[in-house]
Amino acid sequence: MPLKFFISAFLFCSIFFTVSAQQKTWSNKVDSVLHLMTLEEKIGQLNQYTDDLTLTGPATVDNDKASQIKNGQVGSLLNSLGTTRVRSWQTMAMQSRLKIPLLFGQDVIHGYKTTFPIPLAEAASWDMDAIELSARIAATEASASGINWTFAPMVDIARDPRWGRVMEGAGEDTYLGSLIAKARVTGFQGKKLGGLDAVMACVKHFAAYGAAVGGRDYNSVDMSERQLWEVYLPPFKAALDAGAATFMNSFNDVNGIPATGNAYLQRTILKGKWNFTGFVVSDWGSIGEMVNHGYVKNDYEAALSAIRAGSDMDMESRSYKNNLAKLVKDNKIPVSLIDDAVKRILLKKFELGLFDDPFRFCNTTREQQALNNAAHVKAARAIAAKSIVLLKNENHLLPLSKSTKTIAFIGPLVKPLLQNKGFWDVTIPGVDSNFIVSQWKGLQNKVGASSTLLYAKGCDIEGDNKAGFAEAIAIAKQADVVILSIGEKRDMSGEAKSRSNINIPGVQEDLLKELLATGKPVVVLINAGRPLVFNYTADHAPAILYTWWLGSEAGNAIADVLFGDVNPSAKLPMTFPLSVGQVPIYYNHFNTGRPATNDNNHIYNSSYTDLSIFPKYAFGYGLSYTDFKYSDLKISKNKMTAKDQIDVAVTITNTGKYDGEEVVQLYLHNKVASVVRPIKELKDFQKIQIATGASKTIHFQINAQKLSFYNQQLAWVTEPGDFELMIGSSSADIRLKTEFELVK
Ligand code: BGC
């Protein structure tokens, strides 16, 4: 055997044996702890409460948490922030008979102290390194602040912008969503669990929560098995393959069975077919809520259903605490079922090193350092800028010149601080939440002393008060350029924030109309947690940046893009509808038997008589200050077998005036198959940097995995046939096409 191979084989074997030896040691340790536990203590490990400091769900009054912790009746707390507070709870756990440490969970969704763009915005970056880095930094800060476990990433595919939680995911696409799921899990968990800067990821919400009927939060989901497997499950599998330590189930029912009591999802798929060895936490109160679903009669039955179905930890419903012992006594469940759940939880406590030192995440000096790290702030600014989508830029109005004499910055979102954080931010006691650069401050930081900056609020986000219009118009008239910052409030999207009206609220677009009437060039910033409908703005404003909620560095990042220090490169991760009447709308739909191809004819085809079928902005859309030409699409062959590969080459040239980045997207269409296939599906992409005037040839590989799908029997197969290959700058802007055949 050549030495090189010998060394790698040796390394592989020793790593493998070290890992499995380690697992064995942990498993022995888990067994030895389990052996000492009473049934009540075991049930305690499955019980999770919120700290009363913050509530992220309906509160249950419980003044007895401290004594329950001291009695070993609680396994985990959520919403406890900061080393001091975490230490005080952990000290109580250390007074329990077996001194089993508590796990501290928290929704660290888009940053901890340093706040990053909301996940949907960050998904627009299509930049996996950036996304992983933001999760890495969030984990570094949170773990230094006592947290062991984040309830993220949310990997629910979402095709309905009315659903408030679209802000928390990666959008509508399964392929992009799967890559992002992996990047986030890798970022949160770092090199390995047990590292002082790692937190456990919790992949949520298992499963299909994003398909809630009507976009109403917590609503039912009715979905075919094929859609479940093909569209909704892959991001969960990708997160699992990336090593995700835990899963959270969901509030919704799937085809009539609540996810929390769903043995098919949790036992057959997750713990069976996928061999998941971590544990599943319920969503807040979702075990008890099975009574409301009408799936079980009472809390006793709810606990029975959940534990049988594979829900290991009960977040906040107290169903396990109040019923599991009786269920054992009544011979409804064997203790082994409880043991399995306890072992899964204890294993993670061992892996995190909490048994070695329950206070290892409670070092105040480390906390101070992690929460005041200039490198984190720098990364937040860069990632925020990467997430801004340039939707329109008539006559190259943007970027603005830094020596523009007079700039009027108008709108209800120019000066507020907290708004920039978006939903699911974290408020750490005693930590300054003014650590946010407002949009106003960002502009001030950017322009030189020779520029005059004028400000007017103009109007509120909501309501019909136009009293501020006159002042706004007056300053617009004095300016060379107007920047108008409008949109949603930060908490108009998020959990329990579904909306039937997703237009820009209030009189904000009326204000734009008045400002445009001054004849001044107006750049519009749209701040939101979801795709909004803003047709007046889209049709009349000369330049639009979709700025979402960008986090603590929002102001600086927006200024970086406005003035061209960063050339925008983001692409929409969700389709933006023309009207809420089109929802759900997504790019990878079927063709139907009567496809509509244009808006002029809606007789006997699949269209609306009163509305276009086309979205306002397509999935994958986003402009740059420069232009890219696509040319020379070449495939290495036009026939392949399932064992072969085709190499795809395409050349991209930066024909504009600025250096820039382009997301080159590869879509496939399986033209005829034994089950109908979408008109196109994203199967690959590359984000490339190209200097002005330069060209780059990039390559993609087509292999069987990219051509496979679930057939009628739900087997993952390839079928011989013709495929259309499309290379585009968005799902609707296909620049080059070719075809190839998959043969036997
Ligand atoms: C949400 C979860 C969240 C949990 C804890 C629930 O209401 O659905 O996503 O992790 O609360 O805050």
- 285 ligand 1 Cβ < 6 A: no
How high is the pLDDT of residue 12? 45
Please identify, among 545, 561, 577, the residue that sits at the C-terminal boundary of a domain.
561
Residues 523 and 408 placed together within one structural domain of the fold: yes
Which atom of ligand 1 lies at the shortest distance from residue 152's CA? 10
Q: How many CB atoms lie within 10 A of CB 476?
A: 25
Tens digits of per-residue pLDDT, 180-192? Answer: 999 999 999 999 9
Tens digits of per-residue pLDDT, 567-608? Answer: 999 999 999 999 999 999 999 999 999 999 888 888 999 999
d(CA 497, CA 528): 12
Report the candidate in 105, 150, 49, 100 with the shortest Cα–Cα distance to residue 342: 100
Q: Of all helices (H) and strands (E), which one includes residue 738? A: strand 734-742
How high is the pLDDT of residue 19? 61
How high is the pLDDT of residue 601? 85
Which atom of ligand 1 lies at the shortest distance from residue 251's CA? 8
Tens digits of per-residue pLDDT, 644-677? Answer: 999 999 999 999 999 999 999 999 999 999 999 9
Which atom of ligand 1 lies at the shortest distance from residue 56's CA? 12
Q: Is the pLDDT of residue 464 over 70?
A: yes
Tens digits of per-residue pLDDT, 670-698? Answer: 999 999 999 999 999 999 999 999 999 99
Note whether residue 89 is domain-resident.
no
Note whether residue 733 is domain-resident.
yes
Contact (CB, 8 A) for 695 and 651: yes
Mean residue pLDDT across the chain: 96
Sheet holding 628-635, edge to edge: 628-635, 646-654, 695-702
Note whether residue 734 is domain-resident.
yes
Q: Is the pLDDT of residue 288 over 90?
A: yes
Q: Of all helices (H) and strands (E), which one includes residue 303? A: helix 299-309
- 283 ligand 1 Cβ < 6 A: yes
Note whether residue 529 is domain-resident.
yes
Residues 549 and 637 placed together within one structural domain of the fold: no
Closest CA to ligand 1's atom 12: 56
Please identify, among 561, 579, 609, the residue that sits at the C-terminal boundary of a domain.
561
Q: How many CB atoms lie within 10 A of CB 388?
A: 28
Q: Is the pLDDT of residue 16 over 70?
A: no
Domain count, the chain: 2
Residues 539 and 392 placed together within one structural domain of the fold: yes
The Cα-based distances of 507 to 458, 462, 469, 636, 647 in angstroms read 10, 7, 10, 55, 52
Please identify, among 561, 589, 604, the residue that sits at the C-terminal boundary of a domain.
561
Q: Does 101 sit behind a cis peptide bond, omega within 30 degrees of 0 on the bond before it?
A: no
Residues 531 and 638 placed together within one structural domain of the fold: no
| The Cα angle at residue 52 between residues 169 and 194, in degrees rounded to 5 | 60
Q: Is the pLDDT of residue 14 over 80?
A: no
- 54 ligand 1 Cβ < 6 A: no
Which residue out of 53, 104, 168, 283 has the highest number of ligand 1 atoms within 8 Å of its CB and is therefore the one to mutate?
283
SS3 128: helix
How high is the pLDDT of residue 3? 42
Residues 417 and 503 placed together within one structural domain of the fold: yes
Which atom of ligand 1 lies at the shortest distance from residue 151's CA? 10
How high is the pLDDT of residue 433? 67
Note whether residue 187 is domain-resident.
no
State in Å: Cα 675 to ligand 1 middle: 36
CATH number at residue 544: 3.40.50.1700
Note whether residue 672 is domain-resident.
yes
- At residue 630, what are phi and psi to the nearest 5 degrees? -105, 130
Tens digits of per-residue pLDDT, 305-356? Answer: 999 999 999 999 999 999 999 999 999 999 999 999 999 999 999 999 999 9
Residues 511 and 645 placed together within one structural domain of the fold: no
How high is the pLDDT of residue 54? 83
Closest CA to ligand 1's atom 2: 283
Residues 550 and 643 placed together within one structural domain of the fold: no
d(CA 145, CA 105): 11
Tens digits of per-residue pLDDT, 156-177? Answer: 999 999 999 999 999 999 999 9
Contact (CB, 8 A) for 76 and 68: no
How high is the pLDDT of residue 431? 81
Read off the pLDDT of each residue in 465-486 and give the average, rounded to a whole number.
98
Domain that holds residue 450: 387-561
- pLDDT category at 434 given cuts 50, 70, 90 is confident
- What DSSP character marks residue 165? G
Which atom of ligand 1 lies at the shortest distance from residue 205's CA? 9
Residues 534 and 670 placed together within one structural domain of the fold: no
How high is the pLDDT of residue 52? 87
Residues 6+ apart with CB under 8 A from 590: 676, 677, 678, 679
How high is the pLDDT of residue 743? 98
Read off the pLDDT of each residue in 98-118 and give the average, rounded to a whole number.
98
Say what percent of the chain tops pLDDT 70. 97
How high is the pLDDT of residue 2? 45
- 284 ligand 1 Cβ < 6 A: yes
Report the candidate in 373, 313, 378 with the shortest Cα–Cα distance to residue 347: 313
Q: Which amino acid is at 168?
A: E
- 107 ligand 1 Cβ < 6 A: yes
Residues 398 and 547 placed together within one structural domain of the fold: yes
Residues 669 and 546 placed together within one structural domain of the fold: no
Which residues are annotated as catalytic?
Answer: 283
Closest CA to ligand 1's atom 4: 284
Residues 533 and 447 placed together within one structural domain of the fold: yes
Task: Classify strands 628-635 and 646-654 as parallel, antiparallel or unpaired.
Answer: antiparallel
- pLDDT category at 500 given cuts 50, 70, 90 is very high
- 740 ligand 1 Cβ < 6 A: no
Alpha carbon distance, N-terminus to C-terminus of the chain:
37
Q: Is the pLDDT of residue 4 over 70?
A: no
Residues 432 and 521 placed together within one structural domain of the fold: yes
Q: Is the pLDDT of residue 59 over 80?
A: yes
Tens digits of per-residue pLDDT, 530-581? Answer: 999 999 999 999 999 999 999 999 999 999 999 999 999 999 999 999 999 9
Which residue out of 48, 107, 118 has the highest number of ligand 1 atoms within 8 Å of its CB and is therefore the one to mutate?
107
Which atom of ligand 1 lies at the shortest distance from residue 168's CA? 9
Tens digits of per-residue pLDDT, 17-56? Answer: 566 788 888 999 999 999 999 999 999 999 999 998 888 8
SS3 652: strand
Read off the pLDDT of each residue in 436-456 and give the average, rounded to a whole number.
95
CATH number at residue 725: 2.60.40.10
- 119 ligand 1 Cβ < 6 A: no
Contact (CB, 8 A) for 570 and 125: yes
Helical residues (DSSP H) of 46-82, grouped into ranges: 65-70
- 56 ligand 1 Cβ < 6 A: yes
State in Å: Cα 284 to ligand 1 middle: 6
* Alpha carbon of residue 589 to chain centroid: 22
Read off the pLDDT of each residue in 213-227 and give the average, rounded to a whole number.
97
How high is the pLDDT of residue 164? 98
- 711 ligand 1 Cβ < 6 A: no
- 660 ligand 1 Cβ < 6 A: no
State in Å: Cα 379 to ligand 1 middle: 27
State in Å: Cα 285 to ligand 1 middle: 9
Note whether residue 124 is domain-resident.
no
How high is the pLDDT of residue 379? 98
Note whether residue 553 is domain-resident.
yes
- 217 ligand 1 Cβ < 6 A: no
The Cα-based distances of 530 to 12, 151, 155, 165, 575 in angstroms read 45, 21, 16, 8, 10
Q: Is the pLDDT of residue 496 over 80?
A: yes
